[in-house]
Amino acid sequence: MCATANEYNADGIQVLKGLEAVRKRPAMYIGDTGVRGLHHLVYEVVDNSIDEALAGFCSEISVVIEEGNSIKVTDDGRGIPVDMHATEGKPALEVVMTSLHAGGKFDKESYKVSGGLHGVGVSCVNALSISLIAEVHREGSIYTQKYERGVPLTGVEKIGACDENGTTITFQPDPEIFPEREYIYETLKSRLRELAFLNKGLKISLEDTREGKSKSESFCFEGGIIEFVRWLNESKNAICSEPVYFTGEKDGVQVEIAMDYNDGYSENLFTFANNINTHEGGSHLSGFRAGLTRTVNAYANNEGLLKKDMKSLSGDDVREGLTAVISVKIPEPQFEGQTKTKLGNTEVKGQVEQLVNQSLGAFFSENPKVAKTVIGKCIGAAQAREAARKARDLTRRKSALDSAALPGKLSDCASTDPAECELYLVEGDSAGGSAKQARERRFQAILPLKGKILNVEKARLDKILANDEVRTIITALGAGVGIGVFDIEKLRYHRLIIMTDADVDGSHILTLILTLFFRYFREVIEAGYVYIAEPPLYRVKKGKKEQYAFTEDQKDLLVEEYGTTGVYVQRYKGLGEMNPEQLWETTMDPEARTLTRVNLEDAAAADHSFTVLMGDDVVSRRKFIEQNADQINLDDLDI
C-alpha cells in the first residue's frame, strides 16, 4: 500500500541508490545545471589529474573539446587502479566511477594533499553524462570501461598493452540534465591557465577540435605563482623589479605567497587552497592581511617614515595597488560546503601571518629603497582615503528609505522593497526622457547619464567622488562606496540595468560603467544584480504588421517573411529614436524584454582584461586588439 498525501510512514521514505541522488538533485553536487555547472564537470575530472601532479606522479594534462561537445581529459599519472576492491567485490575503477565518497584521498596514503576531498567528483561527472569512457594505462596494460548515465555498460576490459601509465576520461554531458551543452573555450582556458600557474612546471594543454573553432594552447609556468603575479601586473607599472616571493611549511601546511605593488589604486588579492579558488577568502586571507598591515606599520615606525599626524596605516592603505596570490596546500582542508569558496582552517591564519611577518620584514630590511617606495605609496593612499571620506559624506543617503538625499536627475520608483525595485542607468537625457515616460513607476527607477562617466581604472577614490555622474550613481545606489563602507544590505535596487545605444559610444559607456561596478561594487556583480539591456537593432514593418529584430539574422528572416516589396526597415542607432511605447515594448517590459546578466566567472582574468582595456598601457591594449581582431564581425562595426 502506498502512502497517501495525508500519510507519513515508511512507504513514503525513498532511498536513492548509487548515483541516483546525483541525477535527482545535480545542483547539490555541481552548483547548477547551467553553463557554470557544465564547465564544472571538466574541472572535476581535471582536479583528479591535478591530485596526481600534487602527489608527484603527473607532469602533463591534456583537455580536448571534441565534436558534439564531448570532453577528453588525459593525464600521465599512475592510472586509476583496476584490481578487485576488497570490500566492494568489483574492480576499483568501477568503484571510483560509480560510488560517491570513493577515492584514494581519505587515508592520506595515496594523496597527502588533494582538492576533491568530498570524493564525489568523477562519479558525479559519470552520473550526469549520457556516455563516459574510462581508459586506464597501468602496469603495462590498457583497460577500459563504458558507462551510460553512471551505469556500467561493460565490465573492465583489458584491450591491449602499453609502455606508459595514465588515465583518459571521455564524457558527453547528458541533455536531460543540461539544457545548454556548448563548451566555451575561453572559460576552460582561464581555469586551466590558473591551474598551471598554481602548479609550477606542470604542463596543461587545451585543444578545440570542433568544426570552425579549431584552436589550441599550452600552459607551463616554471615560476608558478611568481609568473601569475607578473601576468596580473602585465599592463601596470610594478614597483618591484620582480614579485616578492616567500614560502614556508609547518605541520604539513604549505604556504606560498607572491606579491608586488603597482602604481594603480585597486587591491587584487587572489587566494587558493589545494588549487581551489577560494573566492570568499578565509583564514589564509585573514592571516595575510593581518601580517601585511603589521609588517608595513612596524617598518614605517622603526624607520620614522610616517607623517607627524599619522599614528598608523590602515589595512586599506597598505593594500592599495597591491597584487598578491596566496596559495596554501593543506592535508585536511575545511571548506564551507561543496562549492569550497571559503577556507575554514583556523590554524592557517597564524601560520600565514607569521610567514608574512618574518619574510616580508626581512625583504624590507634587505631592500630599503623598495620599502620606502612602498611606504610612500601607502602614505599617499592614507591621505587620499581621508580626502575620499570627506567627499563620501556628500554621497551618503540618510537611510535606505529616505529619498530626500537622492540626486535630482533620478526618477525614483514608488516601491521601497529592493528585491522588487530596478534602476535603469540610461545613456543620454533624450533616451532618459523616453524611459521615464515608458517605465512602470511602481518598481522601475530611471537615472539618465550625461555623456561618458570617468574611467575609474585611472583614478583614486577621492577623484572618482568628485565626478558628478559617478557621484550620482553612488548616491542613487544608496549603499556607500569603498572597502569597509559599501554595504550591499543597503542597496536600494536588486536589478541594476545598463541601457546604452547600440553604437561605439554606447559600448564605451557600457564598459566604463562595468569598470566602475567591477572596481568598487564587485559584490553587486557577484550577487547577480547587474544586467545589460538588449534593445532591438531593427524595426521591420509592412502595412499594419510590425516586429522587432535584435540581430542581423532576425532582420533578414523578417524581411524574407514579409516579402521584398513594401517592407520598411528602420535601423535603431540610438535609444532616443524610439518613442516611449516602443521602448517599453522592446526593452523595459519584464514580460517581453531581453536582459543579459553580468556574471563574474574568473576574477583574475577579469582584472587582467579591465587593466589591459581601461588602463594606461597602450602597448598591451594594441596587442590585445591584434590578437582578437579575427573575432570581430566587420558588419557589426558602427563605422
State the catalytic residue, choosing from 503, 534, 577, 617. 503
Pick the CATH number of 400-535+572-600 from 3.40.50.720, 1.20.970.10, 3.40.50.670, 3.30.420.40: 3.40.50.670
Q: How far is Cα 91 from Cα 79, in angstroms, rounded to an integer?
A: 13
State residue 134 phi and psi, 5-degree precision. Answer: -105, 125
The domain segmentation of the chain, as residue ranges, is 20-217, 225-392, 400-535+572-600
- 612546471: which residue's cell? 201
Of residues 168 and 387, more confidence is placed in 168
Average pLDDT estimate for 276-296: 93
pLDDT digits (tens, 9 = 90+) for 306-360: 887 788 899 999 999 999 999 999 988 888 754 567 898 999 999 999 999 999 9
Helix (H, G, I), strand (E, B) or coil at 447: strand
- 593594500: which residue's cell? 319
225-392 has which fold?
A: Ribosomal Protein S5; domain 2 (3.30.230)
Q: Which pLDDT belongs to residue 402? A: 44
Of residues 400 and 386, more confidence is placed in 386
Q: Which pLDDT belongs to residue 169? A: 97
Highest mean pLDDT: which range of 9-13, 14-18, 262-266 = 262-266
Helix (H, G, I), strand (E, B) or coil at 154: coil
**Lowest-pLDDT range, 34-48, 52-66, 67-81, 553-567?**
553-567
Q: How far is Cα 635 from Cα 453, in angstroms, rounded to an integer?
A: 28
- 556583480: which residue's cell? 525
Active site residue 505: yes
State the catalytic residue, choosing from 427, 457, 585, 607. 427
Q: Which pLDDT belongs to residue 351? A: 94
Q: Which pLDDT belongs to residue 103? A: 54
Cell of 66: 571534441
Q: Which pLDDT belongs to residue 113? A: 58
Residue 279 contacts residue 603 (beta carbons within 8 Å): yes
Which residues have C-beta within 8 Å of that of residue 564, sequence separation ≥ 6? none
Average pLDDT estimate for 36-53: 91
454, amino acid identity: L
Helix (H, G, I), strand (E, B) or coil at 24: helix
Average pLDDT estimate for 622-633: 72
**597 has a pLDDT exceeding 60:** yes
Average pLDDT estimate for 49-66: 93
Of residues 118 and 372, more confidence is placed in 372
pLDDT digits (tens, 9 = 90+) for 90-104: 898 998 898 876 555
pTM, rounded to two decimals:
0.75
Angular region, 68: left φ>0, alpha ψ -120 to 50, beta rest: left
- Mean pLDDT (the chain) is 85
Q: Which pLDDT belongs to residue 394? A: 52
Neighbouring C-beta atoms of residue 5, cutoff 10 Å: 6
Average pLDDT estimate for 14-43: 80
State the catalytic residue, choosing from 234, 505, 523, 526. 505
**535 has a pLDDT exceeding 80:** yes
- 10 Å CB burial of residue 580 (0-12, 13-18, 19+) is middle
Of residues 551 and 400, more confidence is placed in 551
Active site residue 501: yes
Q: Which pLDDT belongs to residue 369? A: 92
- 592581511: which residue's cell? 289
* pLDDT confidence tier of residue 12, bands split at 50, 70 and 90: very low
**159 has a pLDDT exceeding 80:** yes
Give the CATH superfamily of 20-217: Histidine kinase-like ATPase, C-terminal domain (3.30.565.10)
State the catalytic residue, choosing from 256, 260, 501, 602. 501
DSSP β-ladder status, 70-75 and 60-66: antiparallel
Specify the DSSP element, H or E, that contains 58. none
Active site residue 427: yes
Helix axes 603-614, 618-628, angle to 10 degrees: 110
**32 has a pLDDT exceeding 80:** yes
Fold agreement (225-392, 400-535+572-600): no
Q: Whose CA is closest to 492, among 413, 599, 598?
A: 413
Q: How far is Cα 299 from Cα 148, in angstroms, rounded to an integer?
A: 62
Q: How far is Cα 461 from Cα 28, in angstroms, rounded to an integer?
A: 40
* pLDDT confidence tier of residue 461, bands split at 50, 70 and 90: confident
538-542, strands of its sheet edge to edge: 545-549, 538-542, 568-571
